[in-house]
Chains A and B, each alone.
Chain A
Amino acid sequence: MLETRPAPAQPDSFAATAARLKARRQQRRRLTDLLAYAVLIVIALIMLYPFYWTLITSFEPTGNIYEAKILPRAVGIRNYAEMWKGTTVPFWRLILNSLIICTLGVSLTVTLATLAAYPLAKMRFPGRDLIFYAILALMVLPNESGLIVNYITTIKLGLLQQTNPVIDAIRQYMAVVLPGLASIVGLFLLRQAYLGIPLELIEAARIDGASELTIWRRIMLPLATPTIAAFAILEFVAYWNSFLWARIMLPDKNLLPLSAGLLELSGTFSTNSRAVMAGAVITIIPILIVFAFGQKYFLKGLEGAVKG
């Protein structure tokens, strides 16, 4: 009992030193954390304040519109009511257009890429490597005249002809989505995902007499679901946000998607910026919802898109 004091004196001093070191390291860590938070908060403010400012201003019924503020001067839903009623912008028509364009675009793009990637990853046929490298070259080749030539092609294909309102609408929706349907990035992402699926699985199915279409639907698609989900989210965001092509091409302003329509009408109705702000807020919401639910896939898909 008496010995216990002097005997562990050395280890005790070691322990004390270790504790002191640990405390110092912890303190330094806390300090760097604090600094990191400070920097992150400043950058986050710069990133988010424009959105926040637009949100609160869109709720103000009147006042000095461009003024910087932290809280809205007054809160009302007049601007949203105006969007809802379509007095500033044919709001519901634009939403409908966006939904049609997104549904058509995403479903067709994903279908085409999931189909085309299958033989490139898992079948043997003459010309496979040639096709693969030709597509690879297209990805590297610059496509500066894409906008111009695609515009000419769209006209030559007769997609902008005006005959019957219903057929015109269908043709023009197709004209909006067609140039984006063959996604090279999507093809690569999916080929990459398919390559990871064990060949034994496919060959067992072939021996059991399954057709290639069945193998694609029953084996490839389910096993590539995470990649397909990531790709579908990427495509949804792309189609929802697309405005340039539609705005250049569509003769009928009633067929524009929401973001293009908003831009188109922000010029015409510059006197009513608050309603346009409400429209901008509404345009962002679906993206944030999709992003919130699919964030994990989304970021993974983006990484793959650039790495692949």
Chain B
Amino acid sequence: MTTTPRRVSRREQHRVGGTGAKVTARNTLIAYAFLLPFLILLVIYHTWPVIFGTYLAFTKYNIISPPQWVGLANFRELMADEQFWSGLTNSLKYILIVPVIQIVALLVALLVNRPMKGIGFFRTAFYVPVVTSFAVVGLIWNWMYQQEGPVNAVLGFLGLHRGGSFLNNPATALYAVMFVTLWKGIGYYMVLYLAGLQSISPELEEAATIDGASRPQVFWNITLPGLRPTILVCSLLSTISAIKVFEEIYVMTQGGPAGSTYSALFYTYSRAFQDFQYGLAAAAGIIIAVISIIFGLINFRLTRGGKADA
């Protein structure tokens, strides 16, 4: 008896507003009160950097005196700066790790997706580097890469060439840092691939097996196509973060030795925080952003193209 009137009025409410109370001045005020603290910080720390950073790219600015409009001078300066080009080249070289990291992460995800004893241990083990700070990871690998260190010892044990300190050698430093990125990133992409694998219906794979499909056939014709969206997201994320590589380099080599690990974003950092050329740094930031958008689109196109074939 008591519930009847309530149910009626609830239905009325539905008619009035699809998702919530009536639109009144008071409700609007309440809604904005909930949003306000978030929005203020969002504008200051997310929107403003985009606007002011774009403006700064066309100025000379050192914080002390007001920004001075210089048009395209910063961009011209960048084009003539050899250090900027070597930074950009290294960032593009860094894309080499994208296929490696994706293939290894996918392989690992397939392995830990099997119902085997102790699989939880392996999942956790592969995830530990992901949750460790770049500061600590960088310190640890600095030690591992020492001339007398474990990496050289293992290489020697395997009968391979024993190098000097990997991070002090311009020929090896960039690849040594790349390996750390790979090592730290596998677990992250593994989790994403695991999520992707779990979204593929097991009935589909079972049905194919019953129809006589072999293991590789099931993988190529069902599992892999099912994973396409995940592969797209992962390789996109991986490409963009390769172009923007910074923290590993900041912690391990500071761009050295002899500029061999200078990345594009490291160039931006050193122009801003070592030389106080904020305008020039902002211009470099814009170029990096445009390049990562272009690579993102290429990546998207390639993966979409693959989908059309299937």
Contact = CB atoms under 8 A, between A and B. Distances in A.
B63 A199 contact: no
A206 B183 CA distance: 52
Given A184-B46, A244-B247, A116 B38 contact: yes
B302 interface: no
Interface string A288-308: 100100010001001100110
B140 A54 contact: yes
B111 A68 contact: no
Contacts of B281: 145, 148
A248 B273 contact: yes
A50 B140 contact: yes
A182 B41 contact: yes
Given A199-B19, A299-B191, A306-B192, A144 B268 contact: yes
B30 interface: yes
A84 interface: no
Contacts of A112: 37-38, 41
B212 interface: no
Contacts of A280: 136, 139-140
A149 B268 CA distance: 12
Nearest to A115: B34
A122 interface: yes
Interface size class of A (residues with CB under 8 A): 35 or more
- Which interface residue of A66, A120, A260, A283 has the most chain B CB atoms within 10 A? A66
- Which interface residue of A144, A150, A262, A295 has the most chain B CB atoms within 10 A? A144
A149 B52 contact: yes
Interface stretch (A9-17, A34-42, A164-172, A221-229): A34-42
Contacts of A121: 19
A207 B10 contact: yes
A148 B282 contact: yes
Interface string A37-68: 10110011011111101100100000011111
B45 A138 contact: no
A216 to B, nearest CB: 7
Contact of A47 (B37, B52, B129): B129
B153 interface: yes
B251 A303 contact: no
A212 B150 CA distance: 59
A210 B221 CA distance: 54
A48 B128 contact: yes
Contacts of A119: 30-32, 34-35
Interface string B22-41: 11000110111011011101
Contacts of B218: none
Interface stretch (B79-87, B91-99, B170-178, B287-295): B287-295
A57 B142 CA distance: 14
Interface in A111-142: 112-113, 115-116, 118-126, 128, 131, 135, 138, 141-142
Nearest to B215: A32
A193 interface: no
- Which interface residue of A116, A145, A182, A241 has the most chain B CB atoms within 10 A? A145
B21 interface: yes
A50 B136 contact: no
Interface in A139-196: 141-153, 155, 178-179, 181-182, 184, 187
Interface residues of B, number: 97
Contacts of B112: 40
A263 B250 CA distance: 11
B131 interface: yes
Given A47-B125, A148-B272, A207 B132 contact: no
Given A149-B52, A182-B41, A44 B122 contact: yes
A306 B237 contact: yes
Given A119-B35, A124-B19, A241 B135 contact: yes
A2 interface: no
Given A144-B285, A182-B38, A295 B135 contact: no
A99 interface: no
B191 A138 contact: no
Given A53-B143, A287-B133, 12 more contacts: A64-B148, A119-B34, A123-B20, A124-B17, A135-B42, A145-B53, A149-B56, A149-B282, A152-B52, A182-B38, A199-B19, A203-B13
Interface of B: 6, 9-10, 13-14, 17-23, 27-28, 30-32, 34-35, 37-39, 41-42, 44-50, 52-54, 56-57, 63, 107-108, 111-112, 114, 116, 121-122, 124-129, 131-136, 138-141, 143-144, 146-150, 153-154, 183, 186-188, 191-192, 195, 233, 237, 244, 247, 250-251, 265, 268-269, 272-273, 278, 281-282, 285-286, 288-289, 292-293
Q: Pick the 4 closest A-B CB pairs, nearest first.
A: A145-B53, A68-B153, A144-B285, A241-B133
Interface of A: 33, 36-37, 39-40, 43-44, 46-51, 53-54, 57, 64-68, 112-113, 115-116, 118-126, 128, 131, 135, 138, 141-153, 155, 178-179, 181-182, 184, 187, 199-200, 202-204, 206-207, 212, 216, 237, 240-244, 248, 259-260, 262-263, 266, 273, 276-277, 280, 283-284, 287-288, 291, 295, 299, 302-303, 306-307
14 contacts: A43-B122, A47-B129, A47-B183, A66-B147, A116-B37, A120-B35, A135-B42, A142-B289, A145-B54, A200-B10, A203-B21, A277-B143, A280-B139, A302-B188
